[in-house]
């Protein structure tokens, strides 16, 4: 019987976490996009030349935090 209670609670927690994760998936995609731009050779070179490096990092962090804050 205790195993059933633990399983039920774990399932509820997992489902809640999954719903939160799915709810922020657009922020996750945007965060991945900004990461790719900051790390790709050609795009990273342009961002350094024009001084967008800090701005790119801020955009990535914004979207990463928007996605993960409800989970944390």
* Model confidence pLDDT, tens digit, residues 13-55: 889 888 888 888 888 898 888 888 888 888 778 887 888 888 8
* Residue 16, pLDDT score: 87
Q: What is the pLDDT of residues 26-37, one digit of tens each?
A: 888 988 888 888
Selection from 58, 61, 72, 62 nearest residue 20 by Cα = 72
* Residue 35, pLDDT score: 86
pLDDT at 71 over 80: no
Tell me if 38 sits within 8 A of 44, measured CB to CB.
Answer: yes
Q: Measure Cα distances from 47 to 34, 35, 40, 42, 51 in Å.
A: 11, 12, 10, 9, 6
pTM: 0.65
Selection from 38, 30, 39 nearest residue 56 by Cα = 38
């Amino acid at each position: 019987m205790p195993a059933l209670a633990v399983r039920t609670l774990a399932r509820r927690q997992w489902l809640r976490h999954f719903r939160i994760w799915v709810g922020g998936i657009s922020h996750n995609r945007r965060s991945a996009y900004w990461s790719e731009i900051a790390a790709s050779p050609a795009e990273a070179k342009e961002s350094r030349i024009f001084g967008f490096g800090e701005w790119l990092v801020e955009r990535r962090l914004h979207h990463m935090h928007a996605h993960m804050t409800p989970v944390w």
